[in-house]
Every structure is written in C-alpha cells, then in structure tokens.
A = this chain, B = another copy of it.
C-alpha cells in the first residue's frame, strides 16, 4: 500500500499550500519547508501547473499559487496527474483484464481494500484536510 515518492511529494506540497491557499509559494520556500530535492520539486511543480492545479508565475517575485479551489482538488486527481491511478484502481495481482464476473483468486479479499482506498481518495479534497491537528507536512 504505497504511493510513489512523486505522489507523496505532490500530496505534501499541495496539502501544505492548501493550509493557506491564497498565498504565493516560491519553489525555494517549499523546498525548505518540505525537504524535497530542489530540482525534482521544480519539475514536479511544472507538471502540477500543466495539469491545471496551480499557476506558475515566472520571473522575480514569481512562484506558485492555486488555480483550482482546494475544495475542487481530490486526492485521487493529484495521484492521477503525477503517476496515474490505473494501478490503484486495478487489480492487486496486476491482471490486465478484470471484471467482477471474471474474478481472480484474490478478488473477494482485495476488493474491500481497493474500495476503501478509492472512496477515501476520491471523496477527500484538499479542503477536507484537518489542518488543525497536523504537525507535519
């Protein structure tokens, strides 16, 4: 039950920004706060920008800010944008073609976990995060 580092980064960045969504965040400040490799973060921000989650403002005094409302950004959207949700929406056992009519041996077991994951990640938006209790990003 693991996301790629890239998804972890994307979620950490966007949830961090969502705590104070009006602000403009420089790559530098995000790198310092979140301890993510500078160049990798920048590349990821460009992806998130092209995917429509954030604006990127170039030049001096530039940075990143939300393009969509945090309440319109579901966790699943973020994961989907940076690594794809296919593997998570699909089969534990990695089978390509699958349906509940043609189940594999793990299906009944797996489906419970998968549904929980999908329902949490599609029903939670960046605005639903409990920022009060969070002590780290």
Contact = CB atoms under 8 A, between A and B. Distances in A.
A5 B136 contact: no
Contact of A102 (B16, B121, B135): B135
Contact of A95 (B88, B114, B136): B136
Contacts of A16: 105
Total copies of the chain: 2
Contact of A134 (B87, B107, B117, B124): B107
A8 interface: yes
A94 B8 contact: yes
Contact of A104 (B87, B105, B135): B135
A134 B106 CA distance: 8
Interface residues of A, number: 43
A14 to B, nearest CB: 10
A74 to B, nearest CB: 11
Interface stretch (A20-28, A59-67, A125-133): A125-133
Q: 3 closest Cβ contacts across the A-B interface?
A: A105-B134, A116-B116, A1-B88
Interface of A: 1-3, 5, 8, 11-12, 15-16, 19, 75, 87-88, 92-95, 102-110, 112-114, 116-117, 120-121, 124, 128-131, 133-137
